[in-house]
Structure 1
Amino acid sequence: MKVAVLGSGVIGVTSAYYLARAGHEVVVYDRQSGPALETSFANAGEVSPGYASPWAAPGIPQKAIRWLLMKHAPLILRPKPDAAMVAWVWRMLLNCTAERYAVNKRRMVRLAEYSRDKLIELRAATGIRYDERMQGTLQLFRTQKQLDGIGKDVEVLKRDGVPFEVLDPEGCVAAEPALAKVRELIRGGLRLPNDETGDCYKFTVVLTDLARELGVEFKYDTQVQQLRFTPDRIEGVQTASGLETADIYIVAFGSYTPAFVKPLGLQVPVYPVKGYSLTIPIVDESRAPVSTIMDETYKIAITRLGDRIRVGGMAEISGFSKDLPPPRRDTLAQSVTDLFGGAGNLEAATFWSGLRPMTPDGTPVIGKTSYKNLLLNTGHGTLGWTMACGSAQVIADIASDRTPDIEVGDLALSRYG
């Protein structure tokens, strides 16, 4: 069958690759000039299935109030008259219960673990390189209260069979030797030894070339305007250069998905949550991280990518703004300077922002819609890189009318009623 994939971020490109490997004729459409030039371009670099957790969790409403008052706040709210923003925040708050958190985290970990396995298979089959490292992720706690609060996450990790280590300060230093210089800041850590890191942009660019070798056609600089449809089918996708047709259509437009499918009567509860990153050239290897550290105080990830350090984080609810306020840069710089001061040249750092497509329950929207030949693969939030390969295999299985290897019924749009 001919499949049209709309979007060429890491989700769209991996979908195209797995669809082509399943024997389909695939065409990818994107308004950008190449792959992974938006949200996938400079993300935190983590492939962290064990940290696949919904932001909606017990206690978050109370923490959010404190965060909003912090100088280096992990959460920033810039209110505006936006009904979609209000509705999304309200639905997220409804998921901040222990019961909903457990349900949402289990399905996120299920998909993320499956995706990590698929990435390992892909790497073995293709030899793809992307500044990858397989040295785990360390969640770092600066206060005893943070360390004491990991119980609910540890319970889920145990239940799902995810290997983990609870570390004292000396254990944290053993995992990340450069932390020896700031041992007094550390109360403990939670380490997931099976997590990975890598440059999502490099991965997506190389996978694009591998997809081309399988026959995938990429139509860049192509403005996708709308879908043509009947009451139960998609008839074509209207682009600036004309109507394009396929047997199956897959929307992977990230934060732009809801507006694109709204004319079809589909309500997709995805909203952009803005994140920021710094990419810093390393000048002192001895002071640099060897893998990924999650700074729990600032909710920031500090990741080693080859000869660079990627510092990414924060959650800003501000619509589709892509501005780069200096205070956000200061927060990233504060975290990395605290823990790895002198490792990189901050003056030469690149400052970036991207729009993470978030659902109110944290789980992406993957699968069928009420239109027989329209599928969605969107809403991965901060975990698009972590969940990309698994999501792509699932969408390829559904398009091929095969039963996926994991349970996927609770990933579809229908879970929202």
Structure 2
Amino acid sequence: MKVVVLGSGIVGITSAYQLARNGHEVTVLDRQAGPALETSFANAGQVSFGYCSPWAAPGIPLKALKWLLMEHSPLVIRPRLDAAMLTWLLQMLRNCTAERYAINKSRMLRLADYSRVAFRHLRDETGIAYDHGMKGTLQLFRTQQQLDASAKDAKVLAADGIAFEILGPNACVAVEPALAHARHKVAGGLRTPGDETGDCYKFASALAARAEALGVRFAYNSRVTGLDIVDGKVAGVLIEGKERIAADAVVVALGSFSAAFLRPYKINLPIYPVKGYSLTIPIRDPSKAPISTVMDESYKIAITRLGDRIRVGGTAEISGYTNGLDAGRRKTLEHSVSDLFPGGDLAKATFWSGLRPMTPDGTPIVGATRIPRLFLNTGHGTLGWTMSSGSARIVSDLVSGETPEIDVADLGVARYALR
């Protein structure tokens, strides 16, 4: 089959690779000049199969109000006249119940566990070098209250068979020796040893090259303006409203822009952009740098070792489709990393921002649509790299008319119509 994949982020590239492995003739279209130049470019560097939690959780509305008053807040909301923003926020609130949280987290962990196996197979098959690390994620708690609250997550992890450890301050330092100077600031931690780290841009770029070797065609600088629908079925896509590319199937992997692209076809995706920021910092003193990934729970910031660099990623800024760099957000990232790991050269740091495609329940939207031959692989939020391998296999199976290896009934857009 001729398959067109829209988007060359980590999700689109992995989908194209898997489709080509399944024998399809694949074309990837992207408006950028190369692969993985938007949200996948400088993310936090985590492949966190165990650290998969919905943002919508019990107590989050109250926490959000407190966060908004913090100097270094993990949450920023810039209100605007935007019906999509308001609708998405209300849907998030409806998912902040214990019942919905348990369902959503279990669903996310199911996909993440499947992706864990798929990703390791992909990594071993391709042999890609990408500053890879396999030393787990340490969720660091600065207060006893945070440590006590982690019992809920530990219960869900245990139920889903995800390996984890609850650590005291000394054990946290044993895992991350550079925390020794900040031991008095550590109440404890939750460690998921199966999590991995790496440079997503390096991985995605190398995987795109492997996909090209399999025959995948990448057409960059291509702005897709719509779908070509014939007799109610997808027959291709339109570029700049002029050129038509024929296709037997189309996979939409446009991240935050998927919702706007599909709105004219009455496919309503509850996806909204949540801007994240990152710093990439050269390491000056390795003894004061992390070994793997530390999640600073107080500021919701991930601090990750990438070879001779530290990647610091965080902040949830709800401000629409804006991608400017905010000096205040940089100060928050700098505060977290310098407080815990002062081994980087902040004067030489690179500042970046990207739009995460978030769903209200945290789970990506993967599967078929009501339009025949049109498939979705989008809405992965902060877990695009983590879930890309599994969701790519699912989409490839569905396009090929095969049954996926895991239950996917609740992964598609239809789940929102059932509420």
What TM bracket, shorter-length normalisation?
Answer: over 0.9
What is the distance in 1 between the residues matched to 2:231 and 2:295? 47
How far off its partner does 1:51 sit?
1.1
> Which position in structure 2 is the counterpart of 1:73?
73
How far off its partner does 1:129 sit?
1.3
Structure 2 residue ranges without an equivalent (≥5): none
> Which position in structure 2 is the counterpart of 1:280?
281
Structure 1 residue ranges without an equivalent (≥5): none
How far off its partner does 1:232 sit?
2.9
1:323 matched to 2:324? The reply is yes
Secondary structure (helix, strand or coil) at the match of 1:362 reads coil
Deviations 1:247-302 (A, max 9, x none): 00000000000110111111000000000000000011111100000000000000
Secondary structure (helix, strand or coil) at the match of 1:149 reads helix
> Which position in structure 1 is the counterpart of 2:31?
31
How far off its partner does 1:325 sit?
1.1
> Which position in structure 2 is the counterpart of 1:302?
303
Which residue identity does 2:165 align to in structure 1?
Answer: E
What is the distance in 2 between the residues matched to 1:231 and 1:252? 24
Secondary structure (helix, strand or coil) at the match of 2:279 reads strand
> Which position in structure 1 is the counterpart of 2:261?
260
What is the distance in 2 between the residues matched to 1:194 and 1:268? 32
What is the distance in 2 between the residues matched to 1:382 and 1:230? 35
Deviations 1:126-158 (A, max 9, x none): 211111100000000000000010121111101
Deviations 1:180-215 (A, max 9, x none): 111111000000111000110000000000001100
How far off its partner does 1:235 sit?
2.3
> Which position in structure 2 is the counterpart of 1:16?
16
1:131 matched to 2:123? The reply is no
Deviates more, 1:220-229 or 1:271-280: 220-229
What is the distance in 2 between the residues matched to 1:114 and 1:234? 29
Secondary structure (helix, strand or coil) at the match of 1:49 reads coil
1:346-357 mapped onto 2 (5 Å cutoff): 346-357=346-357
> Which position in structure 1 is the counterpart of 2:188?
188
How far off its partner does 1:169 sit?
0.5
What is the distance in 1 between the residues matched to 2:112 and 2:22? 21
How far off its partner does 1:103 sit?
0.3
Any conservation in 1 of the 2:251–2:374 contact (CA below 8 Å)? yes
Which residue identity does 1:351 align to in structure 2?
Answer: F
Deviations 1:19-71 (A, max 9, x none): 00011000000010000000000000101111111000000000000000100
> Which position in structure 2 is the counterpart of 1:119?
119
> Which position in structure 2 is the counterpart of 1:172?
172
What is the distance in 2 between the residues matched to 1:230 and 1:335? 53
What is the distance in 1 between the residues matched to 2:136 and 2:382? 18
Which residue identity does 1:136 align to in structure 2?
Answer: G
What is the distance in 2 between the residues matched to 1:36 and 1:306? 20
How far off its partner does 1:161 sit?
0.6
What is the distance in 2 between the residues matched to 1:132 and 1:233? 42
What is the distance in 1 between the residues matched to 2:187 and 2:316? 25
Secondary structure (helix, strand or coil) at the match of 2:410 reads helix
Secondary structure (helix, strand or coil) at the match of 2:50 reads helix
Which residue identity does 2:338 align to in structure 1?
Answer: T
Q: So what's the TM-score if we normalise by structure 2?
A: 0.98
How far off its partner does 1:113 sit?
1.3
What is the distance in 2 between the residues matched to 1:229 and 1:213? 30
What is the distance in 1 between the residues matched to 2:69 and 2:233? 49
1:180-259 mapped onto 2 (5 Å cutoff): 180-230=180-230, 232-240=232-240, 242-259=243-260
What is the distance in 1 between the residues matched to 2:279 and 2:329? 10
Secondary structure (helix, strand or coil) at the match of 2:401 reads coil
Q: So what's the TM-score if we normalise by structure 1?
A: 0.99
> Which position in structure 1 is the counterpart of 2:361?
361
What is the distance in 1 between the residues matched to 2:380 and 2:223? 23
Which residue identity does 1:364 align to in structure 2?
Answer: P
Give the % identical residues. Answer: 62
Deviations 1:59-114 (A, max 9, x none): 00000000001000000000000000000000000000000000000010111111
Secondary structure (helix, strand or coil) at the match of 2:312 reads strand
Secondary structure (helix, strand or coil) at the match of 2:302 reads strand
Secondary structure (helix, strand or coil) at the match of 1:23 reads coil
What is the distance in 1 between the residues matched to 2:40 and 2:123? 19
What is the distance in 1 between the residues matched to 2:390 and 2:129? 18
1:270 matched to 2:267? The reply is no
How far off its partner does 1:123 sit?
1.5
What is the distance in 2 between the residues matched to 1:409 and 1:201? 31
What is the distance in 1 between the residues matched to 2:116 and 2:36? 20
1:78-117 mapped onto 2 (5 Å cutoff): 78-117=78-117
Deviations 1:281-333 (A, max 9, x none): 00111111000000000000000011100000010000011111111000000
Any conservation in 1 of the 2:135–2:196 contact (CA below 8 Å)? yes
Which residue identity does 1:285 align to in structure 2?
Answer: P
How far off its partner does 1:230 sit?
4.2
> Which position in structure 2 is the counterpart of 1:292?
293
Any conservation in 2 of the 1:232–1:370 contact (CA below 8 Å)? no
Q: What stretches of structure 1 move > 2 A for 4+ residues in a row?
A: none
Any conservation in 1 of the 2:301–2:313 contact (CA below 8 Å)? yes
Any conservation in 1 of the 2:235–2:249 contact (CA below 8 Å)? no
How far off its partner does 1:117 sit?
1.1
